[in-house]
Each structure stands twice: as structure tokens, then as C-alpha cells.
Amino acid sequence: MKVKSNMKDSGELKLSEILKSELKQRNMTAHQLSKELSIPPSVLNGWLKNVMPSAKNLQQIKKLADFFDLPLSVLLFNTNNEDNNSEVLFSSVFKDKDAKYRLTIEKISENSNE
């Protein structure tokens, strides 16, 4: 599978940095977090080593954000824009066998009630 990523200029992936910081603040190990959230240790260790999450890991990324009580934009990009405009935070195109797929993470609102 080939992956091509297009992140906006200020949208460099910060998951590894944020994850390490949150673990340190909570005095937790990656192993403890893995068990707590039922995320495979190999996946969590990959993210700690700056491996980009795949589309199949989106539910696990959401679990992390909820566990740390962080918006996805902060967990992934360490950004929390205050405007309510739509904003593409991440876009990735990948090929699997003979098909191409595009994964886009777009912030559409600050308020979950909208």
C-alpha cells in the first residue's frame, strides 16, 4: 500500500509529541495505556515513534482523544483554532491493490451541538 500525505503548512503531525507529554503528565507507561484502551501495543509504540496512524486506526485515535480529554485537532496537530470555519487538518491518498482512497480529516465546527 502506498501512502501520500498532504498536510496543511501548520498541520504537521504532532501525535507522538502529544502522546509522550500526556503519558508523562499522567505518570503512565505506554503499556498501561495500551491495556486501559485496548489499543495493541505495537500500534501505540508506532505512534510514539512517529508512525502515521492509518485509516483503520481512527477509532483508536478517537479513544485516545477522549481518554486525554483533548480535541482531535490538539491530539494530532497540537492546534486548537478558535474560528468556526471548516478547515482541512489532514489529507492522505493511499492505494490498496487497484483502488485509490482519500482520507481527509476536516474540522467543521468547534461546537459538538452543531
Q: With 0-12 CB in 10 A as exposed, 13-18 as middle and 19+ as buried, what is 46?
A: middle
Domains of the chain: 2-107 (1.10.260.40)
Predicted pLDDT of residue 2:
39
pLDDT single digits (tens) 53-84: 887 888 899 999 999 999 888 898 887 655 44
Q: What grid cell was written down for 73?
A: 485537532
Identify the residue with better confidence: 103 or 24. Answer: 24
pLDDT single digits (tens) 9-34: 345 889 999 999 999 999 999 999 99
